[in-house]
Chains A and B, each alone.
Chain A
Amino acid sequence: MSCHDLPSMSAIGSHGRTCCAHVLAWLESRDSAEKAIMPAGLPAEWLQQTFAWGPSRWPFFWCDLVAAETIDCGVFADLTQYLLTLRGYDVARVQLVERSHRSQTKHWAKVWRDAGCDPSVWIIDPETVYHEALAVDIGGVVRIFDPTENVAVGSQTSTAGPPIRMRLVESVGPANSVVRWNGVELRLGEWVDIPPARESRDESRHVAGPRWQL
């Protein structure tokens, strides 16, 4: 699969009716409630506690969240971007290609098939998978963050494999159309190969630690 064949950025749809409007109202108030409980926390924390990572049927709509027991990385990324933007952060989408183990991809493919979902949309080959993440501007420093696991991309505590290709899909706010990640320059819309030596070295994790903190 070449870069041209990779999926486009996942986007949760709206039916334009009350079914989706009411779920958005719940989502926003739930996030406000969580912020009241834990002002220093982030939406990704409660989203992780509410939804397990797993298959989502696409097209996915806001009202599908009500019955969803699992959501995939695209839903996690779009949901988290929506809530972080509401909280005032500049957030952009990032696409990744990550290494994986054959045993993992075999297992994931079965889980996706059992749920009636096509695993080939994200399992590129037995050792390579597609993934979605976010670039977040934190006080002028842009960090690449994996909302599915609530860790910095490339963190050793991540269960995902190291990234081997990355693409910045949107500008991070009006100013950041170029983002640096571990010495690699991510330019808007371009797939960038991650040199092997940098695959697993995310300098930001030295500051952020295993849990993501803004």
Chain B
Amino acid sequence: MTENQRSVVLSGWHSGPNPSPALGTAQSLLHAWPDLQIHALDYSSFSTGLSSALIRERHVLPSWKDADLDEMALSIVSIVNGLDALFLSGLDLETRLLSSISALPRDKFLIPPTAALEATEKPSAFAAEILELKIPRTELATSISSGVAFAESCGWPVWVKGQHYEALKVHSAASLAGAMDYLASTWASGVLIQEDLDGAEESIAFCALRGEVLSACAMRKTLTTSEGKTWGGRVRALNGREASLIGALAEEMGWTGGAEVEMVRSQRDGALYVIDLNPRFPAWIHGATLANQNLPATLVAASWGIDPPAQTRNVTPEFVRVVVEIPAMREATAHREAEFALEDPGHKGHPSEMPVLSRRLWRRVAVREVLPVLSDARASWLDAVLGTWSDTDDGPERVLFEDRLRERFEALQDSVESIGDAYGVQVTASYSMKTNPDSRVLKAAREEGLGIETISLGEVRRALTSGFPGESITLNGPGKWWPRQLLASTPRLAAINCDSIEDLEETLTLLASNQVSCRILGVRFAPISVGSRFGVGASDARQFLDLCRLLANAPLDVGLGVHFHHAMSSIGLERWLRELRAVVALAASVEQVTGRSFTLADIGGGWRGSSLAIYAGHLREAMTAIGSLPGLREVVIEPGKAIVEPTMALLTRVLRVRRMGDNSTAAVLGAAVSDVPDSTSFPHEIWWRPAKDGRWYSLPDGGDSVHGRICMEHDIIRTSVQLPLEASQGDIVAIMDVGAYDASMSYSFGGGGIV
């Protein structure tokens, strides 16, 4: 049989911004054998590449939605057998389906064995180990809360990835919850959370037959789409070590077919990380052919037992993509357009109907779980408060768990003391008043021996009236002298931290005229690589020199301090520590220029109130980072959220349980976003106490939602939660972890001034 009588069947023909590989694979095969017969297989005539003139014959199979999966797989086998052709899949899930068929003629289907496919599942740890590369920090998300906690430990943004398809970059807890919900409902498979690595993306494509690598090349992206997909690249041959490792990977997996190892070279440490291992050729594979690395033809030639195609002369190591209009193979019928319009969002960009197949393969069983009964001291506390309610009380009522608050302050003080002992400096904690200025919280902080951190003269006054001496008060913030009329009655303070050059100039003037007095004059340093409106940007030459000039002339009876504060929960510990080290480098240079030492470091990080042990661990790492300041004698930490967030709950009643248009259920509460204003920054745990039961249950993740009572579209307190089957009007709900900004930033809305 000559090449012009031979046939190859390719699947995966959609060619959009995120294309499937069949079109590029076909171009490469025809580059080697112009008369080869290309047969196209797909599951929708809307796959745009089906309109290509390269195709000899098109086989559009029925939608996955209605098809019997086994019968569909046998149909594909029948087509390939009937043509006596080779088959290269361009669709990962199709590959998985076909590979699972025991009767598959593997000499014709150039796809990996099932065991190899299982080993490629994200996060591709198996492949990374063999390739001696790293993988990004990754976690299988068991719940939104665990996903958020993991994201906060890595720092935002993170990637939310379907087990087999699609990845979404998210920048907040709310978007993470939405992405998890979308991916779970679209693909019905597990959802992974993965840290985001800045760096250049590289790939290695290879082809192998029964575990033996036939050819391989590397490609570095030179142009990408807004989704990060390749739009231009540069191809090179593998070096000896790379070739050896790829050979080991293919051999270990008994690989047959095309493959792509996707990697990113991290700017952080310069190391290569494996992002994904795709069981097919990449869509850019024809770019490799243009660089004289025709992998599809090499694979097909080996399968036929003939020599690989001759190399071409015109080698171009770089390739780019272009957009070209071609005649459509067939016009879209009104019926088909309507059908597409009615499809779920997962259909967009997936005309080959992979979301449908995914849901067929990994259908999630929607079972109303038996909810766990809580055995938590907070439940008794809530019951005690409920004991004071009448049948007509709907709340909301904010409940402070005072025992828990005291325990957390005590544990914090123990940690602070041991950290100070370990590092040989005095470490003190100043409670951040703005986080929750409840008088009971302030009293507990004072009685446990904490200082207090304030951001206005109003807060200074509040601290004084709460019993804090002036020498325990730190004054921060960009508008700290508000309201000005309180200036005259402000006593000598522990520290004043200036937020800008202008703030420092004004503070120095106030100090010089004896209008204010303090033991430490601090400067808040802006982070280097994270956008922030706060702090002196000492990485800028002008601000650095201005800062040096002002501090060189600061009163000698006032000590100098370095203040660094950025939300660790938004950038992750590792990045937070790097920013702190960068600030210390700049501060050390300020010391060198001014001849003055920074004797105090004041650090804050917006830690969430999950675990004080984690908080203490992070503080120890921070102490190491700031240890290089030679004159350092004191460290002040400013805990707020880390202490008080889990010490309050909001009790309210269910006003209505209603069915939503998407068949989910929503509970309308006697509370609203005005009572839980921080509800969008992290998903709050919801406790439920059915009226007829009297026990507390913690609601798991699910497809339902908890709404507020006010007439605002955005008044949604919690999404992606599973309501009890028996949820009904009059049940009691406790919104947990509302002890921080949910308390201090709440406002009255829609209560007619009565509530």
Residues of chain A at the chain B interface (Cβ within 8 Å)? 22-23, 25-30, 32-41, 65-66, 156-157, 206, 209-211, 213
Contact = CB atoms under 8 A, between A and B. Distances in A.
A64 to B, nearest CB: 10
The 7 A-B pairs with the shortest beta carbon distances in the complex, nearest first, are: A29-B589, A40-B270, A33-B582, A32-B585, A36-B581, A36-B582, A33-B585
Nearest to A45: B267
13 contacts: A22-B593, A30-B541, A30-B586, A36-B585, A37-B578, A38-B268, A39-B268, A40-B266, A206-B317, A210-B220, A210-B222, A210-B234, A213-B270
Chain B interface residue bracket vs A? 35 or more
A92 to B, nearest CB: 23
A140 B615 CA distance: 44
B90 to A, nearest CB: 27
Given A26-B589, A34-B582, A213-B270, A65 B541 contact: yes
Given A26-B545, A33-B539, A209-B234, 9 more contacts: A28-B589, A32-B585, A34-B528, A36-B584, A37-B582, A39-B269, A41-B267, A210-B200, A213-B270
B542 A29 contact: no
Interface in B506-540: 528-529, 539
Nearest to A156: B318
A29 B545 CA distance: 12
B579 interface: yes
Nearest to B542: A66
Contact of B586 (A33, A157, A209): A33
Most chain-B Cβ atoms within 10 A of its Cβ — which of A22, A34, A41, A66? A22
Nearest to A27: B541
Contacts of B578: 36-37
A132 B506 CA distance: 45
Given A66-B542, A206-B317, A213-B270, A37 B586 contact: no
Interface string B571-589: 0000000110111111011
B586 A29 contact: yes
A25 B583 CA distance: 14
Most chain-B Cβ atoms within 10 A of its Cβ — which of A32, A38, A66, A157? A38
Contact of A26 (B200, B317, B544): B544
Nearest to B587: A29
Contacts of A33: 528, 539, 581-583, 585-586
Interface in B349-388: none
B528 A37 contact: yes
Contacts of A27: 541
B313 to A, nearest CB: 16
A40 B582 contact: no
B548 interface: yes
B545 A66 contact: yes
Nearest to B525: A33
B236 interface: yes
B592 interface: yes
Interface of B: 200, 202, 220, 222, 234, 236, 265-270, 317-318, 528-529, 539, 541-542, 544-545, 548, 578-579, 581-586, 588-590, 592-593
Contacts of B266: 40
B46 to A, nearest CB: 36
A22 B586 CA distance: 12
Nearest to A46: B539
State the majority secondary structure of interface residues on A. Answer: helix
B270 A22 contact: no
A213 B578 CA distance: 21
Contacts of B541: 23, 26-27, 30, 65-66
Given A37-B578, A38-B268, A22 B542 contact: no
B403 to A, nearest CB: 42
Nearest to A28: B589
B615 to A, nearest CB: 22
A183 B317 CA distance: 19
Contacts of A28: 589
Given A29-B588, A34-B528, A210-B234, A40 B269 contact: yes
Contacts of A206: 234, 236, 317
A156 B589 CA distance: 39
Most chain-A Cβ atoms within 10 A of its Cβ — which of B269, B578, B579? B578
Nearest to A66: B541
A157 B320 CA distance: 13
A37 B198 CA distance: 12
Most chain-B Cβ atoms within 10 A of its Cβ — which of A22, A36, A40, A65? A36
Nearest to A31: B585
A22 B585 contact: no
Given A25-B592, A26-B545, A34-B582, A40 B318 contact: no
B623 to A, nearest CB: 16
Most chain-A Cβ atoms within 10 A of its Cβ — which of B222, B542, B583, B589? B589
Nearest to B236: A206
Contacts of B269: 39-40
A79 to B, nearest CB: 12
A210 B200 CA distance: 9
B513 to A, nearest CB: 28
A30 B539 contact: yes
Contacts of A29: 544, 585-586, 588-590
A38 B545 CA distance: 24
Contacts of B545: 22-23, 26, 66
Contacts of B544: 26, 29-30
Nearest to A18: B593
Nearest to A38: B267
A53 B528 CA distance: 22
B220 A40 contact: no
Contacts of A23: 541, 545
Contacts of B234: 206, 209-210
Contacts of A36: 528, 578, 581-582, 584-585
B548 to A, nearest CB: 6
A121 B326 CA distance: 52
A12 to B, nearest CB: 14
Given A26-B545, A210-B234, A40 B581 contact: no
A189 to B, nearest CB: 34
A37 B539 CA distance: 12
Most chain-A Cβ atoms within 10 A of its Cβ — which of B222, B318, B539, B541? B541
A32 B586 CA distance: 8
Contacts of A157: 222
Contacts of B592: 25
A206 B234 CA distance: 8
A33 B539 CA distance: 8
A34 B234 CA distance: 29
A25 B541 CA distance: 10
A202 to B, nearest CB: 12
Contacts of B270: 39-40, 213
A190 to B, nearest CB: 31
A66 to B, nearest CB: 5
Contacts of A35: 585
Contact of B589 (A25, A38, A211): A25
